[in-house]
Amino acid sequence: MTDKELEDLGDKIVGVLKTIYDPEIPVDIYELGLIYDVFVSEENNAKILMTLTSPNCPVAESLPLDVENKVKELDEINDCEVEITFEPIWEKEMMSEEAKLELGLL
């Protein structure tokens, strides 16, 4: 896979992530800053490093599965694994300007 193809696939994955919303906040998980990194292997397996707004988040079980399943729907992706981390701890400052505007924080 060329660098350009890899970049395009990364953009497609981000596009999928922008369709997944935190159920308590009307902003997608990407703009919220919950996605820390996206990796794609040469075998077209995706690994997503993400966090939650808090360790006690009510969707701690379902949200990572939702992310995995939606990314796997991309034709180019063979498999997807989501790893949850709390380092660094998520803070409001991690949200995009768009998210802050949407939530009235600007």
Q: Is residue 38 part of a domain?
A: yes
28-46: average pLDDT? 94
75: containing domain: 3-94
Cis amide linkage into residue 26, ω under 30° from 0: no
Which domain CATH number covers 31? 3.30.300.130
pTM: 0.90
Structure confidence at residue 33 (pLDDT): 96
- Do residues 10 and 40 make contact, with C-beta atoms less than 8 angstroms apart? yes
Q: Is residue 52 part of a domain?
A: yes
Q: Is residue 42 part of a domain?
A: yes
Average pLDDT, the chain: 91
Closest to 30 measured CA to CA, from 106, 105, 79, 102: 102
Q: Is residue 102 part of a domain?
A: no
Closest to 32 measured CA to CA, from 42, 45, 23, 22: 22
pLDDT in tens, 13-32: 999 999 999 887 889 999 99
Q: Is 62 exposed, middle or buried (0-12, 13-18, 19+ CB in 10 A)?
A: exposed
Domains held by the chain: number: 1
Q: Is residue 76 part of a domain?
A: yes
Q: Is residue 26 part of a domain?
A: yes
Q: Is residue 99 part of a domain?
A: no
Q: Is residue 100 part of a domain?
A: no
Measured CA to CA, the distance from residue 54 to residue 32 in angstroms comes to 13
Structure confidence at residue 42 (pLDDT): 85
